[in-house]
Amino acid sequence: MDVYEVLFQRCLEHRVIVDGKETPLWTISKEDIEKERVDFNLQWESLQDLAISLYEFKREQLKSKELIKLPIEEILVGIAFLKPKESGYLITDDTSNICINYLSDIITARINCISKYYYLIKKPLNTNIFDEVILKFPQKKNIRTNNIEDIKEIVFKLKNLQFDI
């Protein structure tokens, strides 16, 4: 199982609220979403809000020598299920792609941060499941990752409720 499969499984455990009851994401149905019975329990109101947060996080992570707390599973659920603002001029696919690109840049920055400042020295305090896997493998400095397709696949599976549990 690769890190993206682990990440997808973690997304499925994200707690949502359906008809007032807290439950894991993997238990929801298309009907729940269509009838707007699901509260995805996210800190963002729209895709635009998420994109802005990701941009700010990206800037902060690129400047920092420390790993900054990142709710990566919540971000992926947000990309999959948040809607754009009604008055917004960006369409959903464009905003989703912007979020995916920002997340890819953030992951790359985190890998570089781990490889530059932490590998063989100490384990950072703010690691998440993704970072934990990265720490298990030697990294080269200035590593570049091609993870956009993996992120898109996770978002696609979440959007289409392809949970395969």
Reported as a single tens digit per residue, the pLDDT across 17-76 is 998 899 999 999 999 998 889 999 999 999 999 999 999 999 998 888 888 888 999 999
The per-residue pLDDT for range 93-125, each reduced to its tens digit, is 688 899 999 998 888 888 777 777 665 556 666
One-letter amino acid at 17 equals I
Interatomic CA distance for residues 102 and 148, integer angstroms: 10
pLDDT of residue 90: 47
Measure Cα distances from 137 to 3, 4, 140, 145, 162 in Å: 12, 15, 10, 14, 30
pLDDT of residue 141: 46
Stated pTM of the model:
0.80
